[in-house]
């Protein structure tokens, strides 16, 4: 067992070594991102909020109402309803419960027409949970203007 | 003079305690400063994952395995679930996908060990380690995000491959990160390994002998720190672990310091594996064709294991031929290591609880499932 | 009351001596009656709110996966300390509880007790899908609580599974906005004289 003096000397030496390593970092470039002022570039594959882009040519939904996303969703947070038959089938309800969604991307993967896409947005904090139920209009509004999301790019 | 009357004190630690790494409750019986007995009370994060898996098909179970099991090693969980289903259904996996999987599992190991090192540093009073580990972890998260789209939960592996190929330029970024990280690892060693305060808090504390480790079925770094050279990647190689060269770090002391060193060495080995995989990776397809998302797995039973950052993660899968598994049993490494904790803690002081508990790197979602 | 949010019921502390109003509130009432006192009271309130919003001390309390992103947010790159968010280990010193992760039925009484142990004013951020409504664990599950707001009142919901650290920071900023709009000192005055207000 080393004496108290020796142990103290060791501790001081350890402290000096550690602080030496620490102070080397002072000269290194800063890594902190000033978030609200500057934003990080999220990757194009980022699983952000979901959106339903509108077909720019026809002005209609790209959704062909195949219910595949509703079936694959592990959280069961997509609800689709439609009326009509055959080619006249019209989407009457397309709700995504964003509070239940787990952003896994399976719905985007199975969609045959790339009607449902991820947007690179992630800021959707709200005071009221009811705001997190995204209806068809909300999803249209959230759709990216440029093709940035994964479903479009592929 | 009559001797002082003493009695044992039962101390409740948790479920809300900054050092329990989750929601673990420890019932500690104390005799003065000395620990007589420790009884973990678990179940505060029981998410009934095994039951939920029976109601979801194999692809949906990938998403569930990310969250419900050990959330710090999400990709390893995905691998465990997928490996069971792929073994039973005999799904072919392209070579490139195997390499990508290996790279991602090792990156996940790095991320997991970095978080452990950071939080263990906080537990023992070294705050710098936390900040630095988070800095390096962010870089790993960036690498993940560029490929999988998720930071913590990925849902990237699929039956018969992976979801998407690596984006262009990613391999160079990953290689750059590996070289950068090896330098940082030397810094961690400088900061902590030789530090007398760090050594005083960890050396000789919480010893688990080799026999005890075997008796408790301890696995992962806990077992390897006790002299038990047991690593699933070596003993039952999966994916491309038999094609890369790496060492399994083994220490014989069995104390907290040895467990710390095992993890530090594992990080170095993981970086080596990633670099080798990046060099060897062939071009080609990343996903086997004609594997539906709602794959019907033929009836049968299978037990597969992978090496998660915490140890030997096993999946016992029983299928009756449907789209969903009939029964899934998860053999969680943290769960068995938690039981070894009761033996490790006996006889140590109160202040060592934190050091010993932190050293086994417990994740409560893995314990409770 | 403050606008822009759901009305949440908060515990109102009744002093032990049986009087209806606390000494601070009596003082506010007196000040309010003075000429020009209304300006004084609202100014004091604004300063208090400003101070409160800029030093939200959260409880270091992680339940599951989202706690990892919370740690990342407090880590190097995102650095929540810039907003005066300094984690405290005990609920007695905390203003904010970030419920990060799924909460089981076994854990729910503990969360409730932690919330009750925090001194007023206290705020709750529900981080991630699981804390908000059970999220991925909503169906086929017997052990997870369907939303932390069945146990404690939530001020801000942050969606995501798990949310990015930036998303959490945005949630904290939303909370700051909410605190800035609060009328804690003068709300009693409005109740006392609804006709005049």
The predicted-structure confidence for B80-124, as pLDDT tens digits, reads as follows 999 898 888 888 889 889 899 999 999 999 999 999 998 888 888
Please report residues of B whose CB lies closer than 8 A to that of A49.
none
**What is the helix (H) or strand (E) element at residue A138, kind and residue range?**
helix A136-142
Please report residues of A whose CB lies closer than 8 A to that of C164.
42, 122
A26 close to B209: Cβ distance less than 8 angstroms = no
Of A34, A39, A127, the CB nearest to C5: A127
Q: Look up residue C177 and give its two tokens.
A: 């906005």
The whole-chain average pLDDT of chain C stands at 81
Angle at C7 between CA C4 and CA C11, to 5 degrees: 135
Q: Look up residue B229 and give its two tokens.
A: 């050279």
Give residue C4's pLDDT. Answer: 45
- Is C142's CB within 8 Å of B48's CB? yes
Q: Where along chain A do its domains lie?
A: 1-31, 50-141
Of A35, A49, A75, the CB nearest to C169: A35
Average of per-residue pLDDT across C103-113: 89
Q: Which CATH architecture has domain A50-141?
A: 2-Layer Sandwich (3.30)
- Is B46's CB within 8 Å of C143's CB? yes
Of B132, B152, B364, the CB nearest to C69: B152
By C-alpha distance, the chain C residue nearest A129 is C157
Please report residues of B whose CB lies closer than 8 A to that of A46.
145, 149
Q: Is the pLDDT of residue B301 over 50?
A: yes
Q: Give chain B's domains with CATH numbers.
A: 48-331+343-364 (1.10.645.10)
Q: Is the pLDDT of residue C77 over 70?
A: yes
Of C78, C133, C156, the CB nearest to A125: C156
Give residue C19's pLDDT. Answer: 52
Q: Is the pLDDT of residue B262 over 60?
A: yes
For every residue of chain B, which 3-state class applies, written as one string? CCCCCCCCEEEEECCCCCCCCCCCEEEEEEECCEEEEEEEECCCCCCCHHHHHCCCCHHHHHHHHHHHCCHHHHHHHHHHHHHHHHHHHCCCCCHHHHHHHHHHHHHHHHHHHHHHHHHHHHHCCCHHHHHHHHHHHHHHHHHHHHHHCCCCCCCCEECCEECCCCCCCHHHHHHHHHHHHHHHHHHHHHHHHCCHHHHHHHCCCCCCCHHHHHHHCCCCHHHHHCCCCCCHHHHCCCCCCCCCCCCCCCCCCCCHHHHHHHHHHHHHHHHHHHHHHHHHCCCCCCECCCCCCCCCCCCEEEEEEEEECCEEEEEEEEECCCCCCCEEEEECHHHHHHHHHHHHHCCCECCHHHHHHHHCCCCHHHHHC
pTM: 0.88
Interface size between A and C, measured as CB pairs under 8 A: 96
Give residue C194's pLDDT. Answer: 44
Of C65, C75, C110, the CB nearest to B134: C75
Confidence of residue B303 (pLDDT cuts 50, 70, 90): very high
- Is C160 touching B (CB cutoff 8 A)? no
Give residue C18's pLDDT. Answer: 52
Please report residues of A whose CB lies closer than 8 A to that of B192.
18
Q: For the segment A90-125, what is each residue's pLDDT rounded down to a tens digit?
A: 888 888 888 888 888 888 888 888 888 888 888 888
Q: Look up residue C24 and give its two tokens.
A: 């601070």
Give residue A21's pLDDT. Answer: 80
Residue B52 CB contacts under 8 Å (≥ 6 apart), including other chains: B64, B68, C137, C139, C140, C141
Average of per-residue pLDDT across C4-33: 62
A102 close to C135: Cβ distance less than 8 angstroms = yes
**Chain A closest-CA separation from residue C84 CA (Å):** 14
Average of per-residue pLDDT across B231-236: 88
- Is A129 touching C (CB cutoff 8 A)? yes
By C-alpha distance, the chain A residue nearest C135 is A100
- Is A106 touching B (CB cutoff 8 A)? yes
By C-alpha distance, the chain A residue nearest C5 is A127
Q: Is the pLDDT of residue A57 over 80?
A: no
Give residue A47's pLDDT. Answer: 86
Question: What is the C-alpha separation between A150 and A109, in angstroms, rounded?
Answer: 9
Of A99, A103, A128, the CB nearest to C5: A128
Residue, of C176 and C189, whose pLDDT is higher: C176
Give residue C189's pLDDT. Answer: 66
Q: What percent of chain B has pLDDT over 70?
A: 99
Give residue B200's pLDDT. Answer: 84
Average of per-residue pLDDT across B327-354: 88
Give residue C190's pLDDT. Answer: 56
Residues of chain C with a CB closer than 8 angstroms to some CB in chain A: 4-6, 76-79, 82, 129, 132-136, 138-139, 147, 149, 154-161, 163-164, 166-167, 169-171, 173-174, 178
**Chain A closest-CA separation from residue B20 CA (Å):** 26
Give residue B271's pLDDT. Answer: 92
Q: Look up residue A116 and give its two tokens.
A: 């449902």
Q: Is the pLDDT of residue C126 over 70?
A: yes
Q: Is the pLDDT of residue A56 over 80?
A: no
- Counting Cβ atoms within 10 Å, is residue A132 exposed (0-12), middle (13-18) or buried (19+)? buried
- Is B128's CB within 8 Å of A45's CB? no
- Is B342 touching C (CB cutoff 8 A)? no
User: Distance from CA of residue B310 to its chain's centroid?
Assistant: 3
Give residue C21's pLDDT. Answer: 65
* A134 three-state secondary structure: strand
- Is A29 touching C (CB cutoff 8 A)? no
By C-alpha distance, the chain B residue nearest A12 is B196
* A22 three-state secondary structure: helix
Please report residues of A whose CB lies closer than 8 A to that of C160.
103, 122
The whole-chain average pLDDT of chain B stands at 88
Give residue A147's pLDDT. Answer: 55
Q: For the segment B115-167, what is each residue's pLDDT rounded down to a tens digit?
A: 999 888 888 888 888 888 888 899 999 899 888 888 888 888 888 888 888 88
Confidence of residue C147 (pLDDT cuts 50, 70, 90): confident
Confidence of residue C3 (pLDDT cuts 50, 70, 90): very low
Average of per-residue pLDDT across B4-12: 84
B188 close to B117: Cβ distance less than 8 angstroms = yes
Q: For the segment B45-89, what is each residue's pLDDT rounded down to a tens digit?
A: 888 888 888 988 888 888 888 888 888 888 999 999 998 988 888
Of C78, C155, C159, the CB nearest to A99: C159
- Is A39 touching C (CB cutoff 8 A)? yes
**Chain A closest-CA separation from residue C67 CA (Å):** 16
Of B18, B138, B153, the CB nearest to C77: B138
Please report residues of B whose CB lies closer than 8 A to that of A18.
128, 190-192, 195
Question: What is the C-alpha separation between B59 and B155, in angstroms, rounded?
Answer: 9
By C-alpha distance, the chain A residue nearest C80 is A35
By C-alpha distance, the chain C residue nearest B152 is C162
Question: What is the C-alpha separation between B24 and B47, in angstroms, rounded?
Answer: 14
- Is B71 touching C (CB cutoff 8 A)? yes
Average of per-residue pLDDT across C86-114: 88
Please report residues of A whose CB lies closer than 8 A to that of C152.
none
The whole-chain average pLDDT of chain A stands at 81
B366 close to B226: Cβ distance less than 8 angstroms = no
Confidence of residue C191 (pLDDT cuts 50, 70, 90): low
Question: What is the C-alpha separation between A139 and A51, in angstroms, rounded?
Answer: 5
* CB interface of A with C, residues 62-101, below 8 Å: 74-76, 97-101
Residue, of A30 and C15, whose pLDDT is higher: A30
Please report residues of C whose CB lies closer than 8 A to that of A34.
82
Best-predicted range by mean pLDDT (A46-55, A117-126, B299-308, C56-65): B299-308
């Amino acid at each position: 067992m080393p004496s108290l003096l020796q142990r103290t000397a060791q501790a001081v030496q350890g402290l000096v070594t550690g602080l030496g390593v620490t102070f080397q970092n002072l000269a290194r470039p800063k890594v902190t991102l000033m978030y609200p002022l500057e934003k990080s570039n999220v990757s194009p594959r980022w699983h952000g909020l979901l959106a339903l882009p509108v077909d720019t040519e026809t002005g209609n939904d790209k959704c062909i109402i195949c219910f595949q996303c509703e079936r694959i969703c592990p959280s069961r947070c997509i609800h689709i309803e439609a009326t009509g038959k055959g080619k006249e089938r019209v989407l009457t309800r397309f709700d995504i419960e964003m509070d239940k969604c787990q952003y896994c991307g399976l719905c985007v993967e199975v969609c045959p027409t790339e009607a449902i896409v991820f947007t690179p947005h992630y800021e959707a904090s709200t005071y009221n949970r009811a705001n997190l139920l995204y209806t068809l209009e909300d999803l249209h509004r959230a759709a990216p203007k440029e093709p940035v999301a994964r479903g479009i790019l592929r | 003079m009559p001797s002082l009357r003493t009695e044992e004190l039962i101390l409740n630690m948790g479920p809300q305690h900054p050092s329990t790494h989750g929601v673990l409750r420890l019932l500690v019986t104390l005799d003065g400063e000395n620990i007589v007995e420790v009884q973990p009370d678990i179940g505060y994060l029981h998410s009934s994952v095994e039951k939920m898996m029976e109601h979801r098909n194999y692809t949906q179970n990938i998403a569930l395995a990310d969250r419900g099991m050990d959330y710090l090693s999400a990709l390893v969980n995905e691998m465990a679930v997928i490996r069971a289903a792929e073994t039973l259904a005999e799904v072919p996996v392209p070579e490139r996908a195997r390499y990508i999987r290996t790279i991602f599992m090792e990156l996940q190991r790095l991320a997991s060990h970095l978080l452990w090192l950071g939080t263990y540093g906080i537990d023992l009073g070294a705050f710098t380690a936390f900040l630095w580990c988070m800095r390096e972890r962010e870089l790993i998260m960036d690498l993940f995000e560029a490929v999988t789209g998720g930071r913590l939960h990925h849902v990237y592996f699929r039956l018969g491959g992976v979801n998407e190929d690596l984006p262009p330029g990613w391999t160079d970024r990953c290689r750059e990160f590996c070289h950068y990280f090896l330098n940082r690892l030397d810094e961690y060693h400088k900061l902590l390994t030789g530090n007398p305060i760090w050594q005083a808090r960890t050396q000789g504390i919480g010893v688990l002998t080799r026999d005890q480790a075997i008796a408790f079925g301890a696995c992962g770094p806990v077992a390897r720190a006790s002299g038990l050279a047991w690593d699933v990647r070596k003993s039952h190689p999966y994916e491309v672990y038999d094609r890369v060269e790496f060492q399994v770090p083994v220490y014989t002391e069995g104390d907290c310091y040895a467990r710390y060193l095992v993890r530090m060495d594992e990080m170095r080995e993981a970086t080596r594996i990633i670099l080798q995989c990046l060099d060897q990776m062939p071009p080609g397809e990343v996903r086997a064709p004609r594997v539906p998302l709602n794959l019907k797995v033929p009836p049968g039973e299978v037990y597969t294991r992978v090496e998660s950052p915490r140890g030997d993660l096993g999946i016992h899968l029983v299928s009756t031929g449907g789209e969903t598994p009939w029964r899934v049993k998860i053999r969680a490494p943290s769960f068995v290591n938690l039981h070894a904790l009761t033996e490790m803690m006996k006889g140590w002081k109160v202040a060592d609880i934190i050091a010993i508990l932190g050293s086994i790197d417990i994740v409560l979602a893995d314990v409770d499932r | 009351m403050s606008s822009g949010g759901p009305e949440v019921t908060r515990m109102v502390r009744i002093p032990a001596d049986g009087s209806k109003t606390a000494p601070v509130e009596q003082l506010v009432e007196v000040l309010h009656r003075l000429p020009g006192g209304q300006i004084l009271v609202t100014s004091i309130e604004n300063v208090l709110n400003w101070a409160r919003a800029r030093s939200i001390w959260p409880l270091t309390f992680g339940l599951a996966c989202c706690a990892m992103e919370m740690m990342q947010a407090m880590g190097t790159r995102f650095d929540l300390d810039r907003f005066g968010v300094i984690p405290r280990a005990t609920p007695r010193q905390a203003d904010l509880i970030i419920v990060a992760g799924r909460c089981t039925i076994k854990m729910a009484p503990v969360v409730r007790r932690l919330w009750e142990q925090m001194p007023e004013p206290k705020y709750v951020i529900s981080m991630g899908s699981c804390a908000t409504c059970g999220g991925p664990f909503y169906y086929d599950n017997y052990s997870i609580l369907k939303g932390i707001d069945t146990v404690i009142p939530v001020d801000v919901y942050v969606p995501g599974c798990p949310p990015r650290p930036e998303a959490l920071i945005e949630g904290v900023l939303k909370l700051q906005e909410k605190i800035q709009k609060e009328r804690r000192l003068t709300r009693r005055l409005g109740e006392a004289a609804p006709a005049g207000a």
